[in-house]
């Protein structure tokens, strides 16, 4: 497996793939609340819905990958350094449209924002290629999210700063602490190219770094990851007949392979319509995201009385779908 991994945080850390086979058992042995309590004194570890043995350290400590808590946005006309085909999370809420470029989120993973009066968290887990937007309101309380530095099934484990409960990013579900079993509402968004977002929302805003020199924005610290043979820091099962890091388009409990969608261009199932067009870079391929191979743009919609309406979907890796939705359906032909 060939890829270069750079961990963000106060210290730079390069993990060598050759050492993973030896490191995982050692890290797993530390998957015990007694080892975590000094860093997490407020977390109620008596409440959990997961096996603690499935939790692995990703390298950084709590908030070692810093969330964006005071996001800065500029108008489209002010953007000079984003290539037309670079991926962004495109979101519209109550008439306000914003783009959250992966060139930024790759280094922060979470952006706490308020858009159109709605508190949201725009999240991206590079190891799962999972770009998901959540409503931060739970039981009348607005939560603020940060990174734990821990992974489960290679996926980001977030935490809320109100209770220090842990949340699984791919599911939007509380898995440890007071919020165990709670669910975040997922908002429809698009993982699309910058030019697609700009064409849809010419008056839209774009997230930019508060400090442009803080990270190597626009660079991919996981060079070659989506072309590797096996996921990083993952010890679960992989799907049969589908490459573990092959992209799939997930709607509910069904996943279509991106290869199939690219071949057909359009897939319809009941009232769901999924389309593919070329023109979006992979964020997990080459060092410069703008040079990444073309994985295309996916749009998932549902027919209603007014026509087609965007729905929640995700373009993730096949192993992720199997890990979190083991009873889900893969469709590859």
Structure confidence by residue, pLDDT tens digits, 94-119: 999 999 999 999 999 999 999 999 99
DSSP lists the bridge partners of residue 183 as 173
Whole-angstrom Cα distance, residue 27 to residue 21? 11
Do 119 and 137 touch, CB atoms closer than 8 A?
yes
Residue 305 lies in a domain: yes
Residue 246 lies in a domain: yes
Residue 135 lies in a domain: no
Residue 255 lies in a domain: yes
pLDDT, tens digit, for every residue of 203-261? Answer: 999 999 999 999 999 999 999 999 999 999 999 999 999 999 999 999 999 999 999 99
pLDDT, tens digit, for every residue of 27-57? Answer: 444 678 999 999 999 999 999 999 999 999 9
pLDDT at 306: 82
pLDDT at 113: 98
CB atoms within 10 A of CB 70: 8
Cα–Cα distances in angstroms (integers) from residue 109 to residues 64, 214, 230, in the given order: 11, 14, 22
Residue 250 lies in a domain: yes
pLDDT at 30: 60
Of 224, 64, 41, 215, the residue nearest 150 (C-alpha): 64
Residue 231 lies in a domain: yes
Report the number of secondary-structure helices (H) and strands (E) in the chain: 6, 26
Phi and psi at residue 11, to the nearest 5°: -125, 145
Question: How many domains, in total, are found in the chain?
Answer: 1
Query: Tokens 């009385």 identify what position?
Result: 305
* Token couple for 52: 């603690």
pLDDT at 13: 32
Residue 167 lies in a domain: no
Show Cβ contacts of residue 142 under 8 Å, excluding neighbours closer than 6 positions: 119, 136
Of 286, 318, 312, the residue nearest 298 (C-alpha): 312
**Overall average pLDDT of the 181-198 stretch:** 98
DSSP lists the bridge partners of residue 155 as 152
DSSP per position, 129-195: TEEEEEE-EETTEE--EEEEEEEETTEEEEEETTT--EEETTTTEEEESTTTT-BPPBPP-EEEEHH
Range of the domain at 251: 223-331
Residue 300 lies in a domain: yes
Cα–Cα distances in angstroms (integers) from residue 173 to residues 20, 49, 168, 169, in the given order: 28, 10, 5, 7
Of 21, 65, 35, the residue nearest 234 (C-alpha): 21
């Amino acid at each position: 497996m060939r890829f270069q991994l750079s961990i963000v945080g106060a210290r730079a850390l390069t993990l060598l793939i050759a050492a993973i086979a030896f490191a995982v058992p050692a890290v797993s042995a530390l998957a015990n609340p007694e080892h975590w309590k000094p860093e997490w004194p407020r977390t109620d570890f008596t409440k959990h819905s997961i096996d603690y043995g499935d939790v692995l350290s990703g390298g950084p400590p709590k908030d070692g990958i810093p969330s964006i808590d005071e996001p800065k946005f500029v108008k489209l006309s002010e953007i000079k350094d984003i290539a037309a085909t670079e991926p962004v999370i495109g979101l519209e809420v109550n008439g306000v449209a914003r783009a959250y470029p992966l060139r930024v989120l790759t280094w922060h993973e979470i952006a706490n924002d308020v858009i159109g009066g709605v508190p949201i968290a725009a999240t991206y887990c590079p190891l799962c290629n999972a770009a998901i937007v959540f409503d931060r309101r739970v039981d009348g309380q607005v939560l603020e999210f940060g990174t734990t530095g821990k992974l489960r099934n290679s996926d980001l484990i977030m935490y809320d700063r109100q209770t220090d409960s842990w949340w699984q990013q791919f599911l939007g579900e509380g898995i440890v602490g007071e919020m165990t079993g709670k669910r975040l509402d997922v908002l429809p968004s698009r993982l699309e190219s910058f030019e697609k977002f700009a064409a849809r929302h010419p008056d839209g805003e774009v997230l930019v770094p508060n400090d442009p020199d803080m990270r190597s924005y626009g660079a991919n610290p996981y060079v070659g990851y989506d072309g590797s043979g096996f996921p990083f820091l993952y010890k679960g099962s992989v799907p049969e007949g589908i490459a573990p890091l092959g992209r799939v388009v997930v709607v509910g409990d069904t996943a279509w392979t991106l290869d199939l969608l690219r071949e057909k261009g359009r897939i319809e199932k009941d009232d769901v319509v999924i389309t593919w067009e070329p023109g979006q870079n992979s964020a997990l391929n080459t060092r410069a995201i703008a040079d990444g191979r073309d994985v295309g743009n996916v749009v998932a919609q549902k027919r209603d009385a007014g026509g087609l309406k965007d729905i929640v979907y995700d373009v993730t890796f096949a192993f992720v779908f199997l890990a979190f939705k083991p009873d889900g359906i893969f469709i590859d032909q």
